[in-house]
Amino acid sequence: MNIYDIRRYSKLIFLIITAIVVIIFLRVSSGIVDGLATQERERMQIWADATQRIATIAFESFDTMSDDGGAASSGSEMQSSDDIEFLLSIIRRNHTIPVLLADAEGNILDHRNFDLPDPVDSINPIVTTDANRVYLNDKYNALRNSANVIPIDIGGDIVQYLYYEDSRMLKRLSLFPYLQLVVMLAFIVVVYFAVSSTKKAEQNKVWVGLSKETAHQLGTPISSLMAWMELLRAEGIDPEIVGEMDKDVVRLETIASRFSKIGSRPTLEPVDLRDVVASAASYMSTRISSRITLTNLPDAHPLPVRISRPLIEWVLENLIKNAVDAMEGAGSITITSSTEARFACIDVADTGKGIPRKRQKTIFNPGYTTKKRGWGLGLTLAKRIIEQYHDGRIFVLNSEPGAGTTFRILIPLAD
């Protein structure tokens, strides 16, 4: 298992753990909300029982007065008065839960704790304005079909209904877990992108340092080789041998130049992309197996772009080398240039062994390679050159195991 598989599984494990924590958090919060809702219903049940008891006492007092011919005992009156006052105090203590008391016909008998449009008469709160009446009727119609209903049996075939809403505290508490969830997810996203940005910045510094150091290290031996070339010419060594050696020295100089350009923002120059593709194809055609056919199919029209020619040639050479390795010494490579919308398009297709779908997104990662030799940096550098320096794209257009792979490069056309 390579580092990218480990990273992918680590992300999956992290997401699973995060999901479990979120589920536990929501369940605990939901339990708290349900417990508070149960307490509020119990309070409303007490409120309903108090209302029922007041009505019962009133009926009993009326019956007693009827039996006594209108003269009830003072002791009974005092006891009833104390009971009613206690029950009314229970009703008055509700300052948080909005309630409606209505009869079976839907007539509103009492209401408390609603934010009415118009001020309420402090002397007789039941008397209300038209705006308040419409508001309360709307509330009644909304609550009559809810679960927050408690029937009150007054007696004598009279039934009233207590309707109530969740308190403001309960409503806020029910939203609080989701608010916390949003904040937590936002925090995780911010931290993730901050860490990713820091990591990318650190990687960029490593790339720049590595590239500049490589170019610097190559500079000294190249200068020495160039001096030796001049000495060999002066000594009368076979010019053909010296010429071939000179080509290799020039090649080394080109490689050093490419590394120096990777370490800093390259200068972009206007060129016809077809010429760059033709140059890279011509160079590589003499350095691959004779059993591999390399074909260049240029577009019929110019492809004006602004690029760093040495770096784009490097990208094409890397893709061709990878195609040669994928075909294991025999097959064909076709390079096709064209236009797509506002982009110049280069397709590099081979008849190699292909890339599995699950690997197509990881082949551009640093260090990824299927070869026994090499650092696995070719495609990583190619992606950096195309996307960061030329504002283009490079990706696997299609690939089938055993049938080959096509890479696509998109570079913006020059105005």
- Rounded Cα distance, 230 and 210, in Å: 31
225-244 average pLDDT score: 84
Best-predicted range by mean pLDDT among 232-241, 255-264, 271-280?
271-280
pLDDT digits (tens, 9 = 90+) for 262-293: 666 788 999 999 999 999 999 888 888 889 99
Q: What is the band of 65 on the pLDDT scale with cuts at 50, 70, 90?
A: low
Q: How confident is the model at residue 84 (pLDDT cuts 50, 70, 90)?
A: low
Highest mean pLDDT among 168-177, 183-192, 300-309: 300-309
Nearest to residue 169, comparing CAs of 22, 35, 349, 307?
35
Q: Of the spans 182-186, 308-312, 400-404, 410-414, which averages the highest pLDDT?
A: 410-414
- List of residues 6+ apart from 150 with CB closer than 8 A: 41, 44, 45, 48, 161, 162, 164
Q: Give the pLDDT confidence score for residue 276 in this predicted structure.
A: 94
- How many angstroms from the chain centroid is the CA of residue 190? 10
Beta strands of 21-177 (E only): which ranges? 99-103, 108-112, 149-155, 158-164
Min mean pLDDT across 5-9, 157-161, 353-357, 368-372 is at 368-372
| CA 131 – CA 128 distance, rounded (Å) | 8
The arithmetic mean of pLDDT across residues 129-138, rounded, is 84
Distance CA 413, CA 339 (A): 9
For the chain, what's the residue count? 415
Domain extents in the chain: 3-166, 171-240, 266-412
**Residue linked to tokens 């040639």:** 313
Residue 66, amino acid: S
pLDDT for position 346:
96
Name the CA dihedral angle for 73, 74, 75, 77, rounded to a multiple of 10 degrees. 90
pLDDT at 329 over 80: no
Summary mean pLDDT of the chain: 80
Q: In Å, how far from its chain's centre is CA 59?
A: 66
Q: What is the mean pLDDT of residues 324-337?
A: 90
Mean pLDDT within 361-367: 75
Higher pLDDT, 73 or 274: 274
pLDDT of residue 304: 95
Q: What is the CATH number of domain 266-412?
A: 3.30.565.10
User: What is residue 81's predicted lDDT score, i.e. its pLDDT?
Assistant: 61
Predicted local distance difference test score (pLDDT) of residue 72: 47
Whole-prediction pTM: 0.53
Per-residue pLDDT, 194: 83
Biggest CA–CA distance in the chain, Å, is 149
pLDDT for the residue 339: 94
pLDDT tens column, 368-385: 565 555 445 678 888 988
- The mean pLDDT value for 410-414 works out to 95
pLDDT of the residue at 375: 47
